[in-house]
């Protein structure tokens, strides 16, 4: 069979790597292009590329290129192809269609036109037609429409070549295997591995970089574990070629394992390490890579092999973590640890963080621009240095602060913890504010949630040097786990910023991972990663306690119910019934889980309603004995009839809520809006008003008496 005109696709920025790789695999007339490489090759070349290419995404065999003006032109162009040369009438096929235009408004319609043309050609010639099968058909057809031009090709890979077959547990935001291989090639790993150089990934996740590095070093074909390729059902293919290529690959892998250098992968998360070991075993590397759980904070020379090697890692840069500040601190710490312990190693960091090089604190030797999906990234290279690491004299390398400053922060943490210890034991409190910008130089709020620590950085004023603020933040975050006795990966860092549109609960990400904590003998779910607010307002603790003390026998209504913590306290206090109302499905579901966690199940006694509280108050005629009204300061949620501005709207809101009170009912109104002014003149003609803000201030917020304000309102007795 004559040489085939082929095209291999690749991640943007890796085309030159793919071109060099194709040369070693016997390809001819190699021509790199944007998004891939065109070349000529035989059926053996097809097998070799699908088996051995580490960087390619797909292998395409273009069949025809033509111009269309209508869907009918597309149909005619496909019908004219000799499909019987490529698949049998008894085979299955699938269509991948890309692009729109010329009357083709969506890809499904374009794919249907191609499918109909292929089926009709077979029906015209044989009276039968092949069937469509989306997953693993004998032949997969690739169609692309752009600017009236159509390209029809066979996808000889069948599915993306990055799917090696070993990774069944990919983890959060994983690198594709072919991108990982490209990173390794750019880091010169094949040459280093031949010299016996060790490998270390200190944030390995589920092990993709380490596994790809081991497969390279052991001379293993990356496609050896795959059991499906698009050429397997293709009419011209001689499968004996594939069998021979694969057997040769197995022999090379078996021989190469004997020369595998030391390989180490570390990660803070035990689930990631379990997945990494399972993935390595499926790749034929069981026991060949040392995967261990170790937080980045513990990284040292002793963590990896005993001789200098290649340190290569893909740290989180916003996809796998929450706020940019947390990611920035992680990059800063990584840079410091590399400079201290791995200055004489080859080091390369792959990151999508803006200004990643600056965050790492060291000028790169050079960088390579790559894309991780649609995200622009840099591979930052640091060659070995001959000079020794800087002396361990500072609290953190690269900072400009004096040790005495972080010592004052630590001393205040420990002093506050000792001061609050007796109160926490007496009132069964495991979640409380330990530190709240007590020292102006360290503008943080530090909250304990059981064994976890939630750190909020207040935005520094413009008068503070940003570098100095970052240094102080790094010192504080590094000191917290050491002195509070928690794991570094149990510290969650966020920056306080105004939510979009004035929203009360800013969202960073949506991992939806929850931690169970206790308060007053009751249990609650908190989320320390996704939002600034965690699901349990610590300053509201005394208000919840007040509700439990007054709820016995009451019909309780929780308006703007959030995660339903107040409802749990009302139910625990013996409320006759509860109703929690909130506009968010997320919070209604969270509230229901909190109730169920404490043995209160949904039913006639305990109800949950997703509704706009303002609109619902105007519609309902139900009466309640105890109402909690704790609205946001401002909200313009899409589900609301109109935006809520508490200062402007509070009189009408309170009057609507009071109208739902029973004769002797109690309305508890609270707000965290520190500039709020209650319009008593407009309310006092019908309502008795008593402010209880001082009585609801917990000891851990004593330094901030305006953290919230709270009033009890009752109907005035008619004279």
What is the SS3 assignment for 285? coil
What is the SS3 assignment for 618? helix
Reported as a single tens digit per residue, the pLDDT across 186-218 is 999 999 999 999 999 999 999 999 999 999 999
Residue 82's contacts (CB-CB under 8 Å, 6 or more residues apart) are none
Reported as a single tens digit per residue, the pLDDT across 585-641 is 999 999 999 999 999 998 999 999 999 998 999 999 999 999 999 999 988 777 777
Reported as a single tens digit per residue, the pLDDT across 686-699 is 999 999 999 999 99
Domains and CATH numbers, the chain: 4-155 (3.30.2130.30), 177-222+258-382 (3.40.50.150), 403-496 (3.30.750.80), 523-715 (3.40.50.150)
Tokens of 23: 């040369």
Reported as a single tens digit per residue, the pLDDT across 344-384 is 999 999 998 877 888 888 889 999 999 998 889 999 999 99
Average pLDDT, the chain: 90
Angle separating helix axes 208-217 and 270-282, nearest 10 degrees = 30
Q: What is the pLDDT of residue 393?
A: 35
Q: Is pLDDT at 510 greater than 80 in this prediction?
A: no
Q: Running DSSP on this structure, what letter comes out for residue 428? A: T
Reported as a single tens digit per residue, the pLDDT across 534-592 is 999 999 999 999 999 999 999 999 999 999 999 999 999 999 999 999 999 999 999 99
Residue with tokens 């002195």: 483
Beta strands 139-146 and 491-496 are unpaired
Say which residue, 254 or 501, is predicted with more confidence.
254
What is the SS3 assignment for 585? helix
Q: Which residues of 311-324 are buried (b: 16+ CB within 10 A; e: fewer)?
A: bbbbbbbbebbbbe
Reported as a single tens digit per residue, the pLDDT across 72-83 is 999 999 999 999
Q: Is pLDDT at 471 greater than 90 in this prediction?
A: no
Cβ atoms < 10 Å from Cβ of 136: 16
Q: What is the pLDDT of residue 236?
A: 96
CB neighbour class for 246 (10 Å; exposed up to 12, middle 13-18, buried from 19): middle
- Alpha-carbon distance of 427 to 545, in angstroms, equals 10
Q: Which of 181, 158, 198, 372 is nearest to 283 (CA)?
A: 181
- Alpha-carbon distance of 269 to 168, in angstroms, equals 18
Rounded to 5 degrees, φ, ψ at 52 are -110, -15
Tokens of 484: 């509070």
Q: Is pLDDT at 422 greater than 50 in this prediction?
A: yes
Q: Which of 331, 315, 321, 295 is nearest to 487 (CA)?
A: 295
- Written in H, E and C, the secondary structure of 345-409 is CEEEEEECCCCHHHHHCCCCCEEEEEEECCEEEEEEEECCCCCCCCCCCCCCCCCCCCHHHHHHH
Residue 322's contacts (CB-CB under 8 Å, 6 or more residues apart) are 492, 494, 508, 509, 529, 530
Q: Please report the sign of the dihedral spanned by the C-alpha atoms of residue 398, residue 401, residue 405, residue 409.
A: negative
Q: Which of 375, 381, 376, 349 is nearest to 363 (CA)?
A: 381
Strand residues in 207-345 grouped as ranges (E): 263-267, 290-293, 310-313
Whether residue 182 contacts residue 55, with contact meaning beta carbons closer than 8 Å, is answered with: yes
Q: What is the pLDDT of residue 628?
A: 98
Residue with tokens 């989180």: 316
Reported as a single tens digit per residue, the pLDDT across 237-252 is 999 999 999 999 999 9
Q: Which of 328, 343, 484, 469 is nearest to 399 (CA)?
A: 469
Q: What is the pLDDT of residue 588?
A: 96
Q: Which of 521, 572, 524 is nearest to 549 (CA)?
A: 572
Q: What is the pLDDT of residue 429?
A: 92
- Alpha-carbon distance of 32 to 19, in angstroms, equals 6
Cβ atoms < 10 Å from Cβ of 448: 23
- Alpha-carbon distance of 501 to 249, in angstroms, equals 58
Q: What is the pLDDT of residue 170?
A: 63
């Amino acid at each position: 069979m004559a040489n085939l005109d082929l095209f291999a696709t690749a991640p943007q920025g890796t085309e030159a790597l793919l071109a060099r790789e194709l040369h070693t695999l016997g390809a001819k007339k190699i021509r790199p292009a944007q998004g891939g490489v065109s070349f000529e090759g035989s059926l053996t070349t097809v097998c070799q590329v699908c088996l051995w290419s580490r960087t390619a995404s797909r292998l395409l065999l273009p069949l025809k290129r033509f111009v269309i003006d209508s869907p009918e032109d597309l149909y005619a162009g496909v019908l004219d192809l000799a499909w019987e040369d490529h698949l049998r009438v008894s085979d299955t096929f699938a269509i991948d269609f890309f692009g729109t235009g010329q009357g083709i408004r969506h890809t499904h319609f374009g794919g249907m036109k191609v499918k109909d043309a292929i089926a009709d050609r077979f029906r015209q010639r044989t009276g039968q037609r092949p069937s469509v099968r989306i997953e693993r058909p004998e032949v997969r057809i690739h169609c692309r429409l752009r600017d009236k031009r159509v390209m029809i090709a066979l996808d000889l890979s069948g599915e993306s070549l990055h799917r090696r077959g070993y990774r069944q547990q990919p983890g959060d935001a994983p690198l594709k295997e072919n991108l990982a291989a490209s990173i390794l090639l750019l880091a010169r790993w094949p040459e280093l591995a031949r010299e016996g150089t060790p490998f270390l990934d200190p944030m390995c996740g589920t092990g993709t970089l380490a596994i790809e590095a081991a497969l390279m070093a052991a001379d293993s074909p990356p496609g050896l574990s795959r059991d499906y390729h698009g050429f397997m059902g293709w009419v011209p293919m001689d499968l004996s070629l594939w069998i021979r290529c694969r057997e040769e690959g197995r022999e090379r892998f078996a021989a190469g394992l004997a020369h595998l250098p030391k390989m180490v992968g570390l990660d803070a998360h035990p689930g990631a390490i379990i997945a990494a070991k399972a993935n390595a075993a499926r790749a034929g590397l069981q026991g060949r890579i040392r995967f261990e759980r170790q937080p980045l904070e513990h990284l040292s020379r002793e963590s990896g092999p005993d001789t200098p090697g290649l340190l290569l890692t893909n740290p989180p840069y916003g996809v796998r973590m929450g706020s940019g500040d947390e990611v920035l601190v992680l990059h800063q710490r990584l840079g410091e640890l590399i400079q201290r312990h791995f200055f004489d190693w080859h080091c390369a960091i792959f990151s999508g963080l803006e200004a990643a090089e600056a965050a790492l604190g060291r000028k790169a030797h050079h960088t390579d621009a790559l894309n991780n999906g649609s995200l622009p990234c840099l591979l930052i290279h640091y060659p070995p240095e001959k000079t020794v690491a800087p002396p361990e004299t500072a609290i953190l390398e690269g900072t400009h602060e004096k040790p005495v400053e972080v010592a004052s922060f630590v001393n205040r943490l420990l002093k506050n913890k000792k001061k609050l210890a007796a109160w926490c034991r007496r009132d069964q409190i495991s979640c409380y504010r330990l530190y709240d910008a007590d020292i102006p130089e360290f503008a943080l709020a530090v909250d304990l949630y059981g064994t976890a620590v939630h750190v909020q950085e207040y935005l520094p004023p413009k008068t503070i040097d940003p570098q100095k603020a970052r240094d102080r933040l790094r010192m504080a975050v590094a000191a917290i786990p050491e002195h509070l006795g928690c794991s570094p990966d149990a510290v969650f860092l966020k920056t306080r910023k105004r939510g979009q549109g004035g929203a009360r609960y800013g969202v960073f990400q949506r991992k939806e991972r929850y931690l169970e904590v206790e308060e007053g003998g009751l249990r609650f779910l908190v989320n320390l990663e996704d939002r600034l607010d965690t699901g349990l307002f610590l300053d509201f603790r005394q208000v919840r306690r007040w509700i439990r003390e007054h709820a016995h026998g009451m019909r309780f209504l929780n308006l703007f119910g959030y995660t339903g913590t107040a409802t749990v306290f009302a139910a625990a206090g013996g409320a006759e019934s509860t109703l929690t109302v909130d506009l968010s499905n997320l919070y209604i579901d969270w509230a229901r889980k909190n109730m169920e966690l404490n043995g209160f199940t949904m039913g006639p006694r305990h109800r949950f309603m997703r509704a706009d509280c303002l609109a619902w108050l105007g519609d309902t005629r139900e009466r309640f004995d105890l109402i909690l009204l704790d609205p946001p300061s401002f909200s313009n949620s899409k589900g609301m009839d109109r935006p809520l501005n508490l200062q402007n709207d509070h009189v009408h809101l309170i009057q609507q809520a009071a109208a739902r009170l029973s004769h002797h009912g109690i309305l508890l109104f609270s707000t965290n809006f520190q500039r709020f002014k209650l319009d008593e003149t407009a309310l006092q003609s019908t309502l008795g008003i008593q402010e209880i803000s001082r009585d609801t201030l917990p000891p851990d917020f004593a330094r901030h008496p305006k953290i919230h304000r709270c009033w009890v309102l009752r109907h005035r007795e008619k004279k």
